[in-house]
Amino acid sequence: MLILGLDPGLRNTGFGLVEADGNRLRHVADGVVSTDDSLSVASRLAALHTALAALLAEHRPDEAAVEETYVNRNPTSTLRLGQARGVVLLAPALAGIPVAEYGAMAVKQAVVGYGHADKDQVAMMVRRLLPAASLRRADAADALAVAICHAHHRATRRAWAASR
């Protein structure tokens, strides 16, 4: 099962691909899709969609997971993040890939075991769980954390379904 984790942002959208085989996780790829600040918002959203569509076509994940939006103090930033998140949700959906959504606390709980963990703790646990990951950018580490969260939740849901 190949899982694509996505950490949405208009400037930088992190992605992380994890292969889940039962309880085993293997790093496949990670990185960041960046957009040019000098372009219009519409052009940046289009560029984000094009890059995600190429990523999906290259790796063909079975499922995707996206981190839910948190509200900033700055309403303009929150709106732009929401627009980018819409594109991040849309791209895998258009490719016929099921998309799950997780809040930041759920991701931290699944990866670190503590829902209020800081970014450094999350990155450290991602490195432990996926030693082959490069994690050059925090956005990529966050995306891998979302993929790990989805793998854990997916396994739990399957175990519950099997026990019924």
Helix segments in the chain, DSSP class H: 41-59, 75-94, 104-112, 119-129, 138-163
- Report the alpha-carbon distance of residue 134 to residue 130 in Å, rounded: 9
Would you state the pLDDT for residue 164? 75
58 has catalytic annotation: no
Instruction: Point out the catalytic residue in the list 21, 36, 62, 67.
Output: 67
- Report the alpha-carbon distance of residue 43 to residue 41 in Å, rounded: 5
142 has catalytic annotation: no
139 has catalytic annotation: yes
Three-state secondary structure call for residue 38:
coil
User: Residue 7's Cα: distance from chain center in Å?
Assistant: 4
Would you state the pLDDT for residue 74? 85
Paired residues of 49 in beta bridges: none
In percent, the amount of the chain with pLDDT more than 90 equals 82
Flag residues of the chain having pLDDT under 50: none
Nearest Cα neighbor of 59 from 143, 115, 139 is: 143
Q: How far is CA 56 from CA 13, 70, 79, 114, in A?
A: 14, 25, 25, 31
Instruction: Point out the catalytic residue in the list 30, 62, 101, 139.
Output: 139
Would you state the pLDDT for residue 161? 73
Nearest Cα neighbor of 46 from 82, 91, 16 is: 91
Contact assessment for residue 69 and residue 9, using Cβ atoms and an 8 Å cutoff? no
Would you state the pLDDT for residue 106? 95
Instruction: Point out the catalytic residue in the list 7, 30, 63, 142.
Output: 7
Domains and their CATH numbers in the chain: 2-163 (3.30.420.10)
Would you state the pLDDT for residue 156? 76
- Report the alpha-carbon distance of residue 33 to residue 36 in Å, rounded: 10
Q: What is the pLDDT of residues 92-128, one digit of tens each?
A: 999 999 999 999 999 999 999 999 999 999 999 999 9
